[in-house]
Amino acid sequence: WKIYAIGVGAAAPTELQAIASSPDRVRTLRNFNQLDSADLSLGCPCKVSEWSKWGECSVTCGDGKSERSRTVLEKGDGKCPPLTEQNLCTGKLPCECTVSEWEAWDECSCVTSAKTRTRKVLVPSTNCNKELKEVEECQPDGCCPTGTWTDWSQCSVSCGDGTHERTRTLRPKSEKARPLCPASKESEPCTGPPCECELSEWKPWSGCPCTTSIKTRVRSITKASPNCDKRTSQLQECTPTGCCEIGEWGEFGPCDMRKCHVVRTRTVKAVASASCPPSQETKSGGCCPF
């Protein structure tokens, strides 16, 4: 059997060696607090291999750790040193990629009505999720030249509300651009003459003329129409007054024996070309003896 010596504090190494008979079997500690963490293994030491090369970094981007190891060659009587060791490392690529500024927008497409712009990756990364292309809707110009508008057509109705239209030619740069062409025809409301004419109120009746015994009244058209069938004048029979100057009847004269009647007269004078009542009146019978 073998004797091992452990000294704490200022114990003389020579004294400990005298007890253990060999310096390989001596351990010296500064204080008792080191008893828990001190390697007190005695006897043949543990033999290990050289360290291996450092392994790959644990991350592909950013900060990580790499590791190396060694193996036990001879166990011995004591505690073996650590067999693995870690070191801080950085991934080969950054975690965020760096991209350029956006290029200018390209021309608005006559086919898709869209424009695009791009940018490039300047510094790559493991997961570069930044958009490198943008597409935006737009209204292209010059895809479909047009001719000039024609004059407006006649109104579609002869009276009332209707429409009229005008047209122009389209010259698309390609058939795919035709859907982008503007309208080749447009219409707008128009108004013809009124379908019903409008008239004023009737004017007062005229006087009753002595020549015709018919009075009249009229009205005028205030808003014309193509087919205005409303009357603008009216006639009505009447009894004129003051057309003749008539005197009083005289006495009946003597009996006319040949005709067996009596006659009386009065004066009648026509003021206008009128038909006046008779100026003579005959009474038959009663004057002849037979």
Q: Per-residue pLDDT tens for 107-136?
A: 888 878 889 999 998 888 777 788 899 999
Whether the pLDDT of residue 59 is over 80: the answer is yes
Whole-angstrom Cα distance, residue 58 to residue 64? 5
Least confident of 62-66, 74-78, 143-147, 281-285: 74-78
Least confident of 163-177, 230-244, 265-279: 265-279
- Residue 262: predicted pLDDT: 82
In DSSP terms, which residues pair with 87 in a beta bridge?
66
- Residue 272: predicted pLDDT: 65
Average pLDDT, the chain: 81
Higher pLDDT, 178 or 8: 178
CA distances from 30 to 9, 19, 34 (A): 5, 19, 7
- Residue 163: predicted pLDDT: 93
Whether the pLDDT of residue 68 is over 80: the answer is yes
Whether the pLDDT of residue 37 is over 70: the answer is no
- Residue 24: predicted pLDDT: 66
Q: Bin 77: left if φ > 0, else alpha if -120 < ψ < 50, else beta.
A: alpha
> What confidence tier does 168 reach under pLDDT thresholds 50, 70, 90?
very high
Average pLDDT for residues 261-273, to the nearest whole number?
A: 77
Higher pLDDT, 140 or 54: 54
Query: Can you say whether the dihedral through the CA atoms of 121, 122, 126, 128 is positive or negative?
Result: negative
High-pLDDT (> 70) share of the chain, %: 82
User: 132-161 as b/e, with b when 16 or more CB fall inside 10 Å?
Assistant: eeeeeeeebeebbeeeeeeeeeebeeebee
> What confidence tier does 152 reach under pLDDT thresholds 50, 70, 90?
very high
Whole-angstrom Cα distance, residue 220 to residue 52? 123
- Quick one: which of 159, 169, 172 has its CA closest to 198? 159
- Residue 286: predicted pLDDT: 66
- Quick one: which of 165, 168, 167, 166 has its CA closest to 190? 165
- Residue 25: predicted pLDDT: 66
Q: Per-residue pLDDT tens for 170-184?
A: 888 777 778 778 889
Contact 196, 225 (CB under 8 A): yes
> What confidence tier does 216 reach under pLDDT thresholds 50, 70, 90?
very high
